[in-house]
Amino acid sequence: MALDAYAAATDEALLTLYGNGDPSAAQILTTRLAPRVLGYASRLLGGDRAEAEDVTQEAMLRLWKQAPEWRRGEAKISTWLYTVTTNLCTDRLRKRRSVDIDAIEEPADGKPSAVDGLIQADRATALQDALNTLPERQRVAVALRHLEGATNPEIADILEISVEAVESLTARGKKALAMALAGRRKELGYGED
């Protein structure tokens, strides 16, 4: 089946196929890219799934519209998508701030310990809570670097800053995360000695 043959194709090749009217390419690309975009948007938006889906839908739609003009080698599709998603999320966060400044969740630090030895999902939730406490750009840089696997030059492209500035942002972000999560160390299965 054609889908099997397409599974090995690069994102760029699939987007070109889509632009040429191939009906299968969109399905493969969506399966490949949309969950990553959704996960990333969800992280930036503080875990709001519904809003993250809106952002994902908009980002993917922009990708499809971009397909006929896409030039090979110009940019990686994943980098392009992260840029669009970052901008869409930033816009929404700004609107959210202007509407209700009290809606920001308090850091989860200090919550009572629920169970001994939390499972991975709880760690992921704790991480999300800690990420929510970071300044926006630190959150973006840390999420891209440590969760999405983007390189520093790619993050520099996405945020339109220098590589040195990216390194500084991620370093400060990591330190703030370590601080935020330290209070839950015992709860999350790390003894405090």
Partner 1 sequence: MAKTETDLLDDAQLEAFFEAGREEVPELSDSFMAALLQDAAQVQPQAHAFAPKRAARPFWKELVAQIGGWPALAGMATATVAGVWIGFAAPDQLETLSGGVLLAGDYASVDTIYDVQDFAPNYFGTDLLIEEEG
Which chain residues interact with partner 1 by CB under 8 A?
A: 18-23, 26-27, 30-31, 34-36, 38-39, 42-43, 49, 52-53, 56-57, 60-61, 64-65, 67-68, 120-121, 123-124, 126-128, 130, 146-147, 149, 174-175, 177-179, 181-183, 185, 188, 190
Evaluate whether 113 touches 185 at the Cβ level (below 8 Å): no
Q: Which is nearer to partner 1, 7 or 179 (CB)?
A: 179
Q: Which is nearer to partner 1, 17 or 156 (CB)?
A: 17
Q: How far is the CB of 126 from partner 1 (least distance, A)?
A: 7
Q: How far is the CB of 52 from partner 1 (least distance, A)?
A: 8
Q: How far is the CB of 64 from partner 1 (least distance, A)?
A: 5
Q: Which is nearer to partner 1, 90 or 128 (CB)?
A: 128
Q: How far is the CB of 60 from partner 1 (least distance, A)?
A: 5
Q: Which is nearer to partner 1, 35 or 94 (CB)?
A: 35
Handedness of CA 71, 74, 80, 84 (dihedral sign): negative
* Separation between Cα atoms, residue 139 and residue 137, nearest integer Å: 5
* Separation between Cα atoms, residue 138 and residue 156, nearest integer Å: 13
Question: b/e per residue, 45-72, with b = 16+ CB within 10 A?
Answer: bbbbeebbeebbeebbeebeeebeebee
Evaluate whether 92 touches 55 at the Cβ level (below 8 Å): yes
Q: Which is nearer to partner 1, 22 or 136 (CB)?
A: 22
Q: How far is the CB of 187 from partner 1 (least distance, A)?
A: 12
Q: Which is nearer to partner 1, 125 or 162 (CB)?
A: 125
For residue 20, report the phi and psi dihedrals to the nearest 5 degrees.
Answer: -90, 5
Tokens of 123: 């760690």
122 SS3 class: helix
Evaluate whether 12 touches 63 at the Cβ level (below 8 Å): no
Task: Provide the CA 18 distance to its chain's centre, in angstroms.
Answer: 25
Q: How far is the CB of 102 from partner 1 (least distance, A)?
A: 25
